[in-house]
Structure 1
Amino acid sequence: MEIAYLFAALAGAGVAAGLLAGLLGVGGGIVIVPVLFSILLLIGVDPAICMHLAVGTSLMTIVATSMSSARAHHRKGAIDWALARRWAVAIALGAVAGGLIARFLNSQELSLFFAVVALSVAIYLSVRREGTQLFPSLPKGLKAQPIPVLIGFVSSLMGIGGGTFTVPVLSSCGYPVRNAVATSSFFGLLIALPGALAFMAAGWGDPRLPPLSLGYVNLLGFVIIAPLTTLAAPWGARIAHAIAPNILRRLFAVFLAITAVKMGYSALA
């Protein structure tokens, strides 16, 4: 019966993550990380590495999710490929750095980092008025490169696809929210693949790892979640193009806030 509950929880997380990936461009990690963290604790994995495993496994599943979500948005012509080319290298380098630095943080520190950053973004999205711009346009050239590096770095540490930060940044620079969501779904791939490989390297040979793990990536979680996120991501993308942008932004903020509070409580408890 416990195995049945485990599979049901992983499957539910996979479907929810896929919907969110297509709907909000977040790669689904905002759902996968807390669910995996709770499951790993429940089955007796050393608490000191539960968050590392949750983040690393989430990044690996986001590889498949982002590909599916980006493909669906590309069919609707919503991805800004010029921006994608300008930011690609910087965002991938940031993701690698985040994955390698994670080995020096404990599980509680990673959990609190996840909670604080997610809650901050949720508050910002909640108070920002529709149409408000912090900058007239997105910076270009070398002076803009710290932005994708930071997005890749923080997203990798949190095990998310980048939409949590890419969407607010682009929206604050005048990008339509649908285009911001669509482009961030592609950035999720650039973050997730190098980030997952870095988490594998960081945890390689750790004696506390559960079976079927490659470093801080658990293959069982990946095998169950990835196909379902890939299946559900196009459903979310279709919904994103059918609802009002302000509703999309508020949904994004609500999901972030709920997840942040849950993760923060778990870490402090």
Structure 2
Amino acid sequence: MLGLDVSELIFTVGVLAVCGSIAGFLAGLLGIGGGVIFVPALYFVFISVLKVDPNLAMVLATGTSLMCMIPTSISAAISQYRRGNTDMHVIKRWSLGMLCGVVVGSVISAFYGGQWLAILFGSVMILNSINTLFRANAKPAFKTLPRQFFQNIIAFCIACFSVMLGIGGGTLTVPILNACSVEPHKAIGTSSAVSLFVCVPGAIILILSGHTPPNAPIGTFGLVNLLGAICVIPLSVLAAPYGVRFGKNIKPATLKRIFAIALFIVSVRMLLSAI
């Protein structure tokens, strides 16, 4: 079935289902959209089980990750909003910059993507995790967010890099908001909305980006593998609200450390596989 024997099919579906549960929980807990789990897991399945070329595998992993994050981000964003953790003023100020960044990042990924994205993913996330881990109790670098012009640049860069890496936006948003004196729970809640802003248009653009590669696995449309997304999405949606509830009772510094450790582990694994 689907070019796999029964054991391979069960293993593939099992891996994706487990990753969906973990990613959904982390999306609610940390506001990271789940991409830091989805991308390495999908990349591993594509190259190890489905025997996809590593360059194509990374592009498909990022596109599919964005699709997987749509329902997860909706679930997490709604839960965070209901708990009063979303700063809608930031979302409104960042909206134009994020949309522009999504378009640019999608174009780069669709036409110039490859295994270098895996190396970029691992490198950026390792640096991010180390900075977050050792600055868990550090004072914010700035008292407030910068002027609107610089916020547009920040929003553009977050969206552009997030689409290229398939991570949704929360992974980069949380440290930036924390550095600008935004309270951690509020930063995480806002980043869930940022992830939604990034993954919806990003996934649509990559589905409609052009011709589906001839050697892509079955169920691929454009640069998104819908069969992989179907295996991941249900459990990720169910797990996201539990992450939100669990995170409400955790100290801000502890939340930062959990975020950093989870990010470091998956980043190292991704970087090693790419190299």
Q: TM-score category by the smaller chain?
A: over 0.9
Q: Deviations over 1:217-254 (max 9, x none)?
A: 00111111111111110000111111111110001100
Residues 1:37 and 2:43 are matched in the alignment: yes
Q: How does 1:164-183 map to 2 (within 5 A)?
A: 164-183=171-190
- 2: CA distance between counterparts of 1:147 and 1:240? 26
Q: 1:2 — aligned with what? A: 8
1:92 deviates by 2.1
Q: 1:148 — aligned with what? A: 155
Q: 1:208 — aligned with what? A: 215
**1:39 corresponds to which letter in structure 2?**
V
**1:31 corresponds to which letter in structure 2?**
I
Residues 1:20 and 2:23 are matched in the alignment: no
1:208 deviates by 2.0
- 2: CA distance between counterparts of 1:164 and 1:254? 13
Residues 1:220 and 2:227 are matched in the alignment: yes
Q: 1:251 — aligned with what? A: 258
Q: Secondary structure at the match of 1:115?
A: helix
Q: Deviations over 1:85-139 (max 9, x none)?
A: 1111211221221111013434320100100100110111122152511111101
> Is the Cα contact below 8 Å between 2:130 and 2:260 reproduced in 1?
yes
**Please, which of 172, 190, 196 is the counterpart of residue 189 of structure 1?**
196
When structure 1 is superposed on structure 2, of 203-212 and 109-118 the one drifting more is 203-212
Q: Secondary structure at the match of 2:209?
A: helix
Check 1:106–1:145 CA distance in 2 against 1; reply closer, same or farther (3 A cut). closer
- 2: CA distance between counterparts of 1:266 and 1:2? 20
Moved over 3 A (4+): none
The Cα RMSD (Å) is 1.2
**1:116 corresponds to which letter in structure 2?**
S
- 1: CA distance between counterparts of 2:100 and 2:204? 12
- 2: CA distance between counterparts of 1:69 and 1:264? 28
TM-score scaled by length of structure 2: 0.94
Q: 2:132 — aligned with what? A: 125
Q: 2:3 — aligned with what? A: none
- 1: CA distance between counterparts of 2:55 and 2:92? 38
When structure 1 is superposed on structure 2, of 209-218 and 96-105 the one drifting more is 96-105
TM-score scaled by length of structure 1: 0.96
Identity %: 38
**2:219 corresponds to which letter in structure 1?**
L
Residues 1:65 and 2:69 are matched in the alignment: no
When structure 1 is superposed on structure 2, of 178-187 and 195-204 the one drifting more is 195-204
1:198 deviates by 2.4
Q: Deviations over 1:195-220 (max 9, x none)?
A: 11222233533212211111110011
Q: 2:115 — aligned with what? A: 108
**Please, which of 95, 104, 124 is the counterpart of residue 88 of structure 1?**
95
- 2: CA distance between counterparts of 1:222 and 1:198? 16
- 1: CA distance between counterparts of 2:136 and 2:200? 34
1:140 deviates by 3.1
Q: 1:240 — aligned with what? A: 247
- 1: CA distance between counterparts of 2:257 and 2:114? 30
Unpaired runs of 5+ in structure 2? 1-6
Q: How many residues align?
A: 268
**1:140 corresponds to which letter in structure 2?**
R
When structure 1 is superposed on structure 2, of 195-204 and 174-183 the one drifting more is 195-204
Residues 1:76 and 2:83 are matched in the alignment: yes
Q: 2:61 — aligned with what? A: 54
Q: Secondary structure at the match of 1:78?
A: coil
